Amino acid sequence: MALVLTEEQTMLRDTAAQFFKERAPVANFRKLRDTNDATGFDKSVWKEMADLGFAGVMIGEEHGGTGFGPVGLGLVLEQAGRTLAASPLVSTVLVGATAVELGGNALQRNDILPKVAAGETVLALALEEGAHHNPYKIGTTAEDHSGTYRLNGRKTFVLDGHVADRFIVVARTGGHDTDRHGLTLFIVDAGTPGLKVTRTKMVDSRNAAIVEFENVSVPSDNVLGSVGAGADILDPVLDLGRIGLAAEMLGLVSQVFEETVTYLKERKQFGKPIGSFQALAHRAAEMFAEIELCRSVVLDALSAAAERRNDVAQMASLAKARLSDVARLVTNEGLQMHGGMGMTDQFDVGLFMKRARVAAATFGDANFHRDRFATLAGY
Amino acid sequence: MEALETFRQETREWLEANCPPSIRTPMPDDESPWGGRNPKWKNPESKLWMDRMASRGWTAPTWPKAYGGGGLTKEENLVLMQELRRINARPALMSFGIWMLGPALLQYANEEQKLEHLPKIVRGEIRWCQGYSEPGAGSDLAGLQTKCEDKGDHYLVNGQKIWTSYANYADWIFCLVRTDTSKKHEGISFLLIDMANGGVETRPITMISGASPFCETFLTDVKVPKGNLVGELNKGWTIAKALLQHEREMISGMGLGNASAGSSFASLEQAAKDYVGEVDGKIASAGLREHLTRQRMDGKAFALTMQRSMEEAKAGHGPGAASSIFKYYGTELNKRRYELLLEIAGTQALGWEGDSFTAEELSIPRAWLRSKGNSIEGGTTEVQLNVVAKRVLGLPIE
Ligand SMILES: Cc1cc2nc3c(=O)[nH]c(=O)nc-3n(C[C@H](O)[C@H](O)[C@H](O)COP(=O)(O)OP(=O)(O)OC[C@H]3O[C@@H](n4cnc5c(N)ncnc54)[C@H](O)[C@@H]3O)c2cc1C
Ligand SMILES: Cc1cc2nc3c(=O)[nH]c(=O)nc-3n(C[C@H](O)[C@H](O)[C@H](O)COP(=O)(O)OP(=O)(O)OC[C@H]3O[C@@H](n4cnc5c(N)ncnc54)[C@H](O)[C@@H]3O)c2cc1C
């Protein structure tokens, strides 16, 4: 493996493609935005996704999942990216469930995973504290008071935070400033006293809450993984998150590109289709090349994660950097090539462009990942 | 699977016994093994290596044994390539016959032509050059005018070719000639010409790198036996295009970064540390470090895409649309790689001669200059983009 899909994977992709086209087209996303929907995603569509097994792709069969693993999830996310389908796939399945699968004890897994697979629980990772992804720079503290931890701090950009049933909170129990050690993950219920969740809306019309902790008491049973070694779970979870977002962006980019090429064939100026002008045709051909490279990178990164290869971190950074860059290029060019139409709210390209920027900033932008890639490679 | 492992074992043993020591060191340009009627063997072990490899057909590993090839499957060939790389073996034979003409002959030539020409290519006995481009026909190759007349028992050829790589060292030339002036593409034929038979004159052209690897080639009343026509009369364009495909594949491989100059550096990143310095294990110049990372990421993405295309072909999906970008992307990557080498080694990469530069350093500016031709030869970048826009994206460009 595996830069070519197996039959089973192709079937899953086709199922997902059809599902999102029919049940979660861009028009649905517009409606959620225009009606200022309180949830930010369509709960009944999410339930259908769970019924199809999408919510359980990262969860083993013993907990009600389908166990398709990273490649399966990547294929679903790619198709979701094509229609801008809003759902807790990223927050709950890609990141939340993965963290519980990796770090949870039997009790935690039995408690949480079946509910995720059934589409009944939304999880949210409370990690970021500043404008830039910086996973070890954690100021939120958790103090041990004989078996109970007391959390204080402020988290931003918590995806789906306003509707989350549980948070996975990254807090500092030791070390200082930007130390990798001394981080601990806590599972915190949404209703816990002292926890304040404020919904914010991002430019992509999705939700990312601010979550504040004021002496929030969390029993030590709710520690995910071991105290002080949270980064051992956080790192692979984030890498999968990065690869998953790259897969979503691959879908987004492919969709914008295809629509743009169609427009180049249909729109006439100077008596001919604008796609006959080489100034546009060559740029389109260059984008095609970049997207082909993107596809190879995403597929390889997904199989690196599935096979637990030792280059997962490098592939995650490569995929996230490349897809963030190419998503910017293709959405910018897609808009430009639509002329005045591209500037209108009525045309989808603007929606894709906004989503591309938020996805690029999630779990580290291209600059972050180039620097990380170089550091991992030893230069 | 097991048979393949046995093959690997046997290959490894044979290479161990037969690949001479000097052949496992980096190859200086003047030891390139081109073969031919008047070969230059600066290093006698180069000839030994070529002959030994040719005796197994391994200079053309996948060609049928009937024509002197190795008869290997794709998988076996991959193993052979891996084993050769493992011991850093130099190529046994460099040859336009192997890279370009042979595959076209295998597909389009008659049995007699295959038996005549292919074994000599495998053994490195005949060196071929490519007579496509003309002064008035570059990107618009089908505009070629070299005239070929039917004189009953032979053809008579008159015209001029240009940019003919190594024509001054070649024994035979495969030529595109005009056999019908009333049509464009359907008036072109594919002809094999022995350059020793009179009427062919070559004049080397000096390139910006100082080398003279290509020539003007003048054809004046050249008599060519009728049996040297490949395929049908006026059907040469199909063969020409198939051959170009092989040529482009060969050139795309450059994007993988194993081109000669700078290859003795452990890696570009290590070279950057050596020339620019390091701080806490990082290349001291943040700008250079970022450029190198972009290059390394794009190189990896490109290599993965070539691999994906191969896997798709193996799974029976055909070569896939991705392959149309290889020539364009691979050569642009290769050019960027040399620009990076200049950035890394600074003024040590800008020397032309003198003792203050190592041989490796002196090869950089020459290779950098040579690399500029990559996006021109075999169809320019712009022409490649036209092909992608038209054939793959279906855009209505002229
Ligand atoms: C914010 C904004 C404000 C505006 N205000 C006004 C206003 O006040 N009054 C007014 O009259 N108009 C206004 N316009 C319209 C503006 O002038 C047009 O949008 C512009 O001229 C482009 O035309 P178009 O939108 O039809 O795009 P098209 O002409 O359809 O172009 C689509 C794409 O094809 C490209 N293209 C077209 N022809 C060629 C060619 N020959 N070679 C290469 N590429 C080509 C274009 O560059 C573009 O990328 C405004 C537009 C915007 C976005
Ligand atoms: C190092 C080297 C080795 C070579 N070896 C050989 C050889 O062995 N045998 C052989 O036959 N030939 C050989 N060539 C020739 C090569 O195939 C031609 O140079 C190439 O096809 C371009 O033709 P040209 O040089 O006439 O450029 P032109 O066709 O004149 O092109 C000039 C510029 O115009 C651009 N251009 C042309 N048409 C278009 C278009 N429709 N749209 C947009 N842009 C366009 C080109 O991209 C280029 O940038 C070699 C060339 C080089 C550089």
Domain borders along chain A are: 7-121, 124-229, 232-376
Q: Is B335 found in the same domain as B212?
A: no
Which of B213, B305, B38, B289 lies closest to A295, judged by CA? B305
Q: Which residues of A touch B317 (CB under 8 A)?
A: 4
Q: Whose CA is nearest to atom 1 of ligand 2?
A: B373
> Can you identify the CATH homologous superfamily of domain A124-229?
Butyryl-CoA Dehydrogenase, subunit A, domain 2 (2.40.110.10)
**Domain's final residue, options B122, B154, B170:** B122
Q: Which pLDDT tens digit goes with each residue over A111-147? A: 999 999 999 999 999 999 999 999 999 999 999 999 8
**A339 C-beta closer than 6 A to ligand 1:** yes
Asked if B99 and B10 count as a contact pair (C-beta separation under 8 A), the reply is: no
Please tell me if residue A291 touches chain B, with a CB cutoff of 8 Å: no
Smallest CA–CA distance from B324 into chain A, residue? A289
Give the atom of ligand 2 at the shortest distance from the alpha carbon of B135. 26
Task: Identify any residues that bridge with B160 across adjacent strands, giving them in sequence order.
Answer: B218
Question: Could you tell me if residue B247 is inside a domain?
Answer: no
Q: Which residues of B touch A379 (CB under 8 A)?
A: 269-270, 272-273, 278, 281-283, 289, 292
Q: How far is the CA of B137 from the centre of ligand 2 (A)?
A: 8
**A343 C-beta closer than 6 A to ligand 1:** yes
Q: Is B262 found in the same domain as B223?
A: no
The pLDDT of residue B267 is 87
Q: How far is the CA of B371 from the centre of ligand 2 (A)?
A: 14
Q: Whose CA is nearest to atom 41 of ligand 2?
A: B383
Whose tokens are 């992509």? That residue is A204
- Which stretch of DSSP H or E encloses residue B190? strand B188-194
Question: Could you tell me if residue B242 is inside a domain?
Answer: no
Q: Do B301 and A294 touch (CB under 8 A)?
A: yes
Asked if B353 and B362 count as a contact pair (C-beta separation under 8 A), the reply is: yes
**A252 C-beta closer than 6 A to ligand 1:** no
Which of A14, A117, A5 lies closest to A66, judged by CA? A117
Question: Could you tell me if residue B244 is inside a domain?
Answer: no
Q: What are phi and psi of B335, to 5 degrees?
A: -65, -40
* Candidates A293, A320, A371, partner chain B, best to mutate (most B CBs within 10 A): A293
Q: Is B351 found in the same domain as B270?
A: yes
Q: What is the CATH number of the domain that holds B348?
A: 1.20.140.10
Q: Is B386 found in the same domain as B265?
A: yes
Q: Is B118 found in the same domain as B100?
A: yes
> What was the ipTM of the complex prediction?
0.96
> Can you identify the CATH homologous superfamily of domain A7-121?
Acyl-CoA dehydrogenase/oxidase, N-terminal domain (1.10.540.10)
Asked if B219 and B159 count as a contact pair (C-beta separation under 8 A), the reply is: yes
The pLDDT of residue B26 is 85
Strand bridging mode B147-150 / B200-205: unpaired
Strand bridging mode B147-150 / B154-165: antiparallel
Question: Could you tell me if residue B245 is inside a domain?
Answer: no
Asked if B123 and B117 count as a contact pair (C-beta separation under 8 A), the reply is: no
**Around Cβ B140, how many Cβ atoms within 10 Å?**
10
Token pair recorded at residue A106: 């039997």
Output the DSSP codes for A168-218. EEEEESSS-TT-STTEEEEEEETT-TTEEEE--B-TTS-BEEEEEEEEEEE
Residue type, B254: M
Which of B310, B208, B302 lies closest to B258, judged by CA? B302
Q: How far is the CA of B139 from the centre of ligand 2 (A)?
A: 5
Q: Do B297 and A286 touch (CB under 8 A)?
A: no
**A270 C-beta closer than 6 A to ligand 1:** yes
Q: Whose CA is nearest to atom 38 of ligand 2?
A: B139
DSSP 8-state secondary structure symbol assigned to residue A379 = -
Residue type, A177: D
Q: Do A294 and B388 touch (CB under 8 A)?
A: no
**A312 CB contacts (<8 Å, ≥6 apart)?**
A236, A239, A301, A304, A305
CA distance, residue B317 to nearest chain A CA (Å): 10
Q: Using 50, 70 and 90 to split pLDDT, how confident is the model at A2?
A: confident
Q: Which residues of A touch B270 (CB under 8 A)?
A: 379
Question: Could you tell me if residue B183 is inside a domain?
Answer: yes
Q: Taking 90 as the threshold, does the pLDDT of residue A323 lie above it?
A: yes
Q: What is the CATH number of the domain that holds B75?
A: 1.10.540.10
**Domain's final residue, options B102, B122, B142:** B122
Task: Identify any residues that bridge with B194 across adjacent strands, giving them in sequence order.
Answer: B172
Which of A122, A151, A123, A147 lies closest to A138, judged by CA? A151
How many CA atoms lie within 13 Å of B48's alpha carbon, on the beta-carbon side? 12
Topology of domain A232-376 in CATH is: Butyryl-CoA Dehydrogenase, subunit A; domain 3 (1.20.140)
- B121 three-class SS: helix
Smallest CA–CA distance from B325 into chain A, residue? A289
Q: How far is the CA of B207 from the centre of ligand 1 (A)?
A: 45
Task: Tell me the C-alpha distance between B251 and B375, whole Å.
Answer: 9
Which residue has better confidence, A2 or A350?
A350
The pLDDT of residue B323 is 79
Q: Do A379 and B385 touch (CB under 8 A)?
A: no
Task: Tell me the C-alpha distance between B151 and B157, whole Å.
Answer: 10
- Best mutation site among A274, A335, A338 for ligand 1 pocket (most ligand atoms within 8 Å of CB): A274
Task: Tell me the C-alpha distance between A299 and A246, whole Å.
Answer: 10
Task: Say how many CB pairs under 8 Å bridge A and B.
Answer: 128
Q: Which of residues 312-351 of A touch B (CB under 8 A)?
A: 318, 321-322
DSSP 8-state secondary structure symbol assigned to residue B196 = G
Nearest listed ligand to the Cα of residue A277? 1
Q: Is B388 found in the same domain as B262?
A: yes
Q: Is B193 found in the same domain as B87?
A: no
Smallest CA–CA distance from B391 into chain A, residue? A285
**B382 C-beta closer than 6 A to ligand 2:** yes
- B7 three-class SS: helix
Q: Which pLDDT tens digit goes with each residue over A267-302? A: 999 999 999 999 999 999 999 999 999 999 999 999
Nearest to A377 among B269, B322, B392 (CB): B269
Give the atom of ligand 1 at the shortest distance from the alpha carbon of A337. 49
Question: Could you tell me if residue B397 is inside a domain?
Answer: no
Q: Which pLDDT tens digit goes with each residue over A155-205? A: 999 999 999 999 999 999 999 989 999 999 999 999 999 999 999 999 999
- Which stretch of DSSP H or E encloses residue A329? helix A312-337
Q: How far is the CA of A340 from the centre of ligand 1 (A)?
A: 5
- Best mutation site among B34, B140, B163 for ligand 2 pocket (most ligand atoms within 8 Å of CB): B163
Q: Which residues of B touch A276 (CB under 8 A)?
A: 395-398
Q: Is B135 found in the same domain as B118?
A: no
Question: Could you tell me if residue B240 is inside a domain?
Answer: no
**What do you get for the CA distance between the two ends of chain A, in Å?**
29
Output the DSSP codes for A97-165. IHHHHHH--HHHHHHHHHHHHTT---EEEE---SSS--TT----EEEEETTEEEEEEEEEEEETGGG-S
Q: Please list the ranges in chain B whose pLDDT falls under 50.
A: none
List Cα–Cα distances, A267 to A32, A258, A297, A335, A352, in angstroms: 30, 14, 33, 14, 20
Q: Do A318 and B297 touch (CB under 8 A)?
A: yes
CA distance, residue A141 to nearest chain B CA (Å): 30
Question: Could you tell me if residue B246 is inside a domain?
Answer: no
- B177 three-class SS: strand
The pLDDT of residue B319 is 64
Q: How far is the CA of B141 from the centre of ligand 2 (A)?
A: 9
> Which residue range forms the structural domain that includes residue B145?
128-235
Task: Tell me the C-alpha distance between B156 and B149, whole Å.
Answer: 5
Q: How far is the CA of B383 from the centre of ligand 1 (A)?
A: 28
**B54 CB contacts (<8 Å, ≥6 apart)?**
B68, B92, B93, B122, B123, B124
* Candidates B294, B296, B297, partner chain A, best to mutate (most A CBs within 10 A): B297
- Best mutation site among B244, B380, B390 for ligand 2 pocket (most ligand atoms within 8 Å of CB): B380
* Candidates B280, B385, B390, B391, partner chain A, best to mutate (most A CBs within 10 A): B385
Q: Which residues of B216-249 are buried (b: 16+ CB within 10 A; e: fewer)?
A: bbbbeebebeeebbbbebebbbbbbebbbbbbbb
Q: Do A275 and B395 touch (CB under 8 A)?
A: yes
**B214 C-beta closer than 6 A to ligand 2:** yes
Number of domains comprising chain B:
3
Please tell me if residue A279 touches chain B, with a CB cutoff of 8 Å: no
**A340 C-beta closer than 6 A to ligand 1:** yes
Please tell me if residue A378 touches chain B, with a CB cutoff of 8 Å: yes
DSSP 8-state secondary structure symbol assigned to residue A334 = H
Nearest to A284 among B278, B281, B389 (CB): B389
Token pair recorded at residue A63: 């907990």
Q: Is B139 found in the same domain as B96?
A: no
Output the DSSP codes for A22-71. HHS-HHHHHHHHHTT-SSSS-HHHHHHHHHTTGGGTTS-GGGT----HHH
Task: Tell me the C-alpha distance between B17 and B28, whole Å.
Answer: 23
Q: What's the alpha-carbon Rg for chain B, to the nearest Å?
A: 22
Q: How far is the CA of B184 from the centre of ligand 2 (A)?
A: 19
Which of B142, B138, B59, B166 lies closest to B102, judged by CA? B59
Nearest to A297 among B304, B315, B396 (CB): B304
**B368 CB contacts (<8 Å, ≥6 apart)?**
B261, B338, B339, B341, B342, B349
Q: Is B113 found in the same domain as B136?
A: no
**Domain's final residue, options B122, B151, B170:** B122
